[in-house]
Every structure is written in C-alpha cells, then in structure tokens.
Amino acid sequence: MPSQPILVPILGDQLSRNISSIRGRSKDDTVILMMEVWDEATYVKHHKQKIALIFSAMRHFAAELCDAGWDVEYVKLDDEGNSGSFTGELARAIERRDPRAIHVTEASEWRVQQAIEEWPDKFACAIELLPDDRFICSHSEFNDWAEGRKALTMEHFYREMRRKTGLLMDGDKPEGGDWNYDKDNREPPKGDMNVPPVPKFAPDEITSEVIALVEERFSDHFGNIEEFAWPVTSAEAQKAADAFFAQRIEKFGPYQDAMVHGSDDLYHSMLSTSINCGLLDPLDLCQRAEKAYKDGHAPINSVEGFIRQIIGWREYVRGFYWLFMPGLADANAMEANVPLPEFFWTGETDLRCLADSIRSTHNNAHAHHIQRLMVLGNFCLIAGINPRDVQDWYLAVYADAYEWVELPNVAGMILYADGGKLATKPYAASGNYINKMSDYCRECAYSPSKKSGEGACPFGPLYWHFIDRHRDTLSKNHRISRIYATWDRMGDEKKRDYLDHADNFLDSLTPASKGWAKETN
Ligand code: FAD
Ligand code: DLZ
Ligand code: SF4
C-alpha cells in the first residue's frame, strides 16, 4: 500500500461493490472506511430491526470486501475512541492513514450531505464527491424535468424513465398499448389467498452478535427484534428476489392494494430494505420483472405496476426530496397540529385496521404500502396530526426508512403538507375504502356502515371533519371540490353529529410521549 492512499468512506446505505466511490478503484491504492456511529443510530430512535439490519449488512459487506483483498478499516459502535459521528471518524482515519484524497459517493440524505459538504473546510486533503448513480435519474435531470412545470405529475416523469431505460417499450410506444395498468390492480382480497411465504433468513454469527448489541444498547427503541429475518448480504437479498420473481410477481399487480388481517406481506416484494441499503440494484430488478413478462410468467399489469413503483415512484420521490429540501421537512400547509397519539407506539387501539398495521410495523419493521398510505397515513391526514410527529414516526419505525424516501411520501403523499406539490389532492378517505379493500372491518369494534353514534367507524366523522375544516382551500381544488355539494346537502343535525363525534374522538386521544421517537435529554 502506498504511503498516501485514497480513503473511501462507505455509508451504511451504500453497500454495493458497484458504488461510484469504489467502482474502477485499485485495491492497491485504496482504504475503505466503514463506521458504526452513534449519531446515525439515534438521530431518530430507529426500530431495533433497522439498526440490526444496517450494522449486520455493513459487517458482512466489510468481510466480503476484505475477503476480496480490499484494505478495510471498520469501526464498530463500541470500539474505543469511536467519536460517534461520520466527520469525527473520518478525522481519526485521516490521522491513522494520511490519505492524499477522500473519494465519497454523495449521501442519500440532506443531513449527512450537509456534513460531507463541510469536509473540504475541515480537512487538508482533497475531497472528491461522486454522484450516486444507483439512481436512474440524476439530480440535474430531475431538476430539468421539473423546471417550468405547473404540476410535477409522477405519471409524466415515469414515462420519461420508461423511455430512458427502454423498460416495457415497444419502439417508442408502451408495451401492450398502455403506459399504466393501475385500473387492473385494485382487486380486494378474496377467500384464502394462499400467498407463498417470503423467505426468512436466520441470523448467523455476525447478525446474532449485532442483535445482542442492539438489545443491550438500544433497549428503549421501538420494535421487536426476536423475529429478525431480513436478508443481510447481497446473496441473501438475491434469494429473496428469486423467490418474489418465481412465486409472487404474478399476483403483485391485482392485489397491490389489498389488505388482510395478520397477512403482512401478501404479494409485495419485501425488497425495499435490500434495495435502499445497496444489496440489490433497482434497475436489475426491473429488468428481471420485464423478463418475467416476456417469458410469460407474469401479466403486464403486475410487471408494469412493479416497474412503475421503482423507476416511477422511487426515482420521483428522490428527485422531489432534493428539489424541495430543506423546506420540505418543515412544511405544514394544512396547519395540522394534533400530536401523534400514543397508540402509534403501543398498538393499543380498538380500530382494528390501525392496530393490525401497527402490529406488523412493530413485529417486522415493515408494513405494506397500502397500510402505510390508506390506513396509517389516511388516519394522520384526516385526524390532523402534525407533520413533524408523523415524519419522525415513519422514519423511526420502518427498516427501509431513509429521509429521502420517507419524507416525500409523508409530507407530500399522505399529509398534503407540501400544499399539493406532489399530489394534486389529499388522499383522504372514510372507512368505506378500507372496508372495500380489506377484511379488517368484519371483526372490528366499529362499523363503517354506521354513520354516527356509538360503534360508528371513526374514519367517517374524521373524514367529514377534515373536509369541513379545510373548506377554504379544498373547495378551490377541482379534484375534490365536488364533495362540498354532498356535505352541504346533509342537514345541520347530521353535520353537527359528525363534527361532534370527530371532536370527541380527537379529545379522547392520548398524545405520545416525546421519548419514543427522539432522545429527550
Ligand atoms: P413493493 O410493494 O413490492 O414495491 C416494490 C418497490 O417499489 C419497493 O421495494 C420500493 O422500492 C418501491 N416503491 C413502492 N412504492 C414506493 C413509494 N411510494 N416511494 C418510493 N418507493 C416506492 N418506501 C421506502 O423504501 N422507505 C420508506 O421510508 C417509505 N416510507 C413510506 C411512507 C409512506 C407514508 C408511504 C405511503 C410509503 C412509503 N414507502 C417507503 C413506500 C412503500 O410503502 C414501500 O417502499 C413498500 O411498502 C416497501 O415494501 P416492498 O418492498 O414489499 O414494496
Ligand atoms: C441507518 C443507519 C444506522 C442506524 N447506522 C449507521 C451507521 O452507524 N453507520 C453508517 O454508515 N450508516 C448508518 N445508517 C445508514 C445511514 O443513516 C445512511 O447511510 C445515511 O443516512 C445516508 O445519508
Ligand atoms: Fe378500521 Fe373503521 Fe374498518 Fe374498524 S370499521 S377496521 S376502524 S375502517
């Protein structure tokens, strides 16, 4: 090793041999630095499984790099002298290795990128910042697309990404004739769904050691760790992907919006944790999905739906995040100020749809998209929960959560806190939607068909309360304004019933103590 190597910090969501900071580098001239740091483990109090996932995946990745002949400096959380921050650990590594330059792939999150951008002022050696080209759309490409548009419609962006990648394209036309097959993807659950199980990965020695560390050092964080079964290496993540493409993609589309009590995965891929930390390549997954369609293993609506989530939504929210940060984190266009209820952390609620979604979140560090959107998210929207609390909760509780993907989904997609930059109207719904798309209501203490009084589903009154209190803004939005005709046709007594019911329900909520999401001292 030459006396002044290149130092390459690899962050916990950059666990890919193809990451831009390592790709093309020579092993003889490179020191890779990986750091378990207290700041990252606690900027929100992540679910125990998320910390275990990241630390275990980092340790496995470091071991693979060492086996392949790379010089890796790995700092464990409890190593003596660990400063607790990326910048502190970089300073110590510079002391030890005297590098001639630092090569680092840009951070996915604003908070970390701000720290990296201060490095040139703090350290004498040259710093080279590289783009994260695991994303299909670069920052400048997204900004160019957004420039001058009245509305940042995801569907339009998605078509650009289809053209760019050539996925599901027949020349310059969309495969099958349509760009989007969402209309075929709204089947409610039926009978015994017989869903093939998602592969579980039993903890090996490295993971077991990390689980013990998490139990000891993060015992007051939310979540169950006993059930930890996430893929922690790229080989395991590939096995999880193989199982999805062999057994579940066929029905991914039709049942994408379905919810079944106690069934936590349905036909979803469960691959987001692996994609987001670098174990799987998003474009590769889309190519595999396309192949499943071309080979006749999966219908177009399933394959197009899956590809749209990745090259459409995933790329779009990343571009959106960087375009609107840092303001997005403080947005509160709906002036929502109700504190997050305690039951989001304890799961103790008799609203069965919420209880089941929170149970899955607690046990698995995961809830599927429609639970996040139409149960938990819709509740937060219509109850008027303040965006800061909701953001902290979503960021803390999911193993796939990073601010770049969580925040646009929370502030834009579910809360309309951005004032309509992401969604053209709030996704507000009464209990009828949940009743149609799930089996939750059948055994719930409440009934969605009962409109008021004891036993009425609280989503109904909360929905009308939301509509009523946002009349000034929403009556001007042509996508939702028609609902005011229905509201106005209701007699005063009925309206009062709804509003009183919602007020009583909101008054009955116990606010969460602050210590759940963030350290309070
Ligand atoms: P599948 O249903 O199998 O979908 C395939 C892939 O598409 C996912 O793995 C994911 O990479 C991508 N995808 C799907 N929907 C979205 C979306 N709306 N935004 C970005 N990517 C998407 N996803 C995260 O990865 N991290 C988060 O922190 C996160 N927070 C969310 C918060 C809210 C309020 C909502 C409504 C959605 C959030 N999502 C988040 C998106 C989505 O719910 C998850 O990606 C999905 O549930 C992960 O499970 P899966 O891999 O089985 O997804
Ligand atoms: C999520 C996470 C956690 C819990 N811990 C670490 C860590 O100790 N070291 C690390 O490199 N990364 C960690 N991560 C992932 C980072 O938060 C993620 O890479 C950055 O937020 C990206 O901006
Ligand atoms: Fe949820 Fe209402 Fe259905 Fe109960 S009745 S499960 S609270 S939507």
pLDDT per position as a tens digit, 30-65: 999 999 999 999 999 999 999 999 999 999 999 999
Average pLDDT, the chain: 97
If you average pLDDT over residues 451-456, what whole number do you get?
Answer: 90
Percent of the chain with pLDDT over 90: 97
pLDDT per position as a tens digit, 422-448: 999 999 999 999 999 999 999 999 999
pLDDT per position as a tens digit, 89-106: 999 999 999 999 999 999
> Do 32 and 72 contact (CB within 8 A), yes or no?
yes
Residue 50 CA: nearest ligand 2 atom is 4
Torsion of CA 256, 257, 262, 266, to 10 degrees: -10
Residue 3: predicted pLDDT: 78
Candidates 13, 55, 75, 116: which one to mutate for ligand 2, based on the most atoms within 8 Å of Cβ? 13
**If pLDDT is split at 50, 70 and 90, which confidence band does 519 have?**
confident
Q: How far apart are CA 313 and CA 319, in angstroms?
A: 10
Instruction: Report the nearest-CA residue for atom 8 of ligand 3.
Output: 431
Instruction: Report the nearest-CA residue for atom 10 of ligand 1.
Output: 272
**382 CA to middle of ligand 3, Å?**
14
Both tokens of residue 18? 């193809």
Instruction: Please say if the pLDDT value at position 1 is more than 70.
Output: no
Closest by Cα among 239, 253, 248, 233 to 197:
248
Pocket flag, ligand 1, residue 320 (CB < 6 Å)? no
Using DSSP's 3-state secondary structure scheme, residue 355 falls into helix
**40 CA to middle of ligand 2, Å?**
5
**310 CA to middle of ligand 1, Å?**
9
Residue 148: predicted pLDDT: 96
Both tokens of residue 449? 């068909």
Instruction: Report the nearest-CA residue for atom 4 of ligand 2.
Output: 41
Whole-model pTM over 0.85 = yes
Pocket flag, ligand 1, residue 396 (CB < 6 Å)? no
Residue 460 CA: nearest ligand 3 atom is 2
Instruction: Report the nearest-CA residue for atom 3 of ligand 3.
Output: 441
261 alpha carbon, closest ligand: 3
Instruction: Please say if the pLDDT value at position 2 is more than 80.
Output: no
pLDDT per position as a tens digit, 20-30: 999 999 999 99
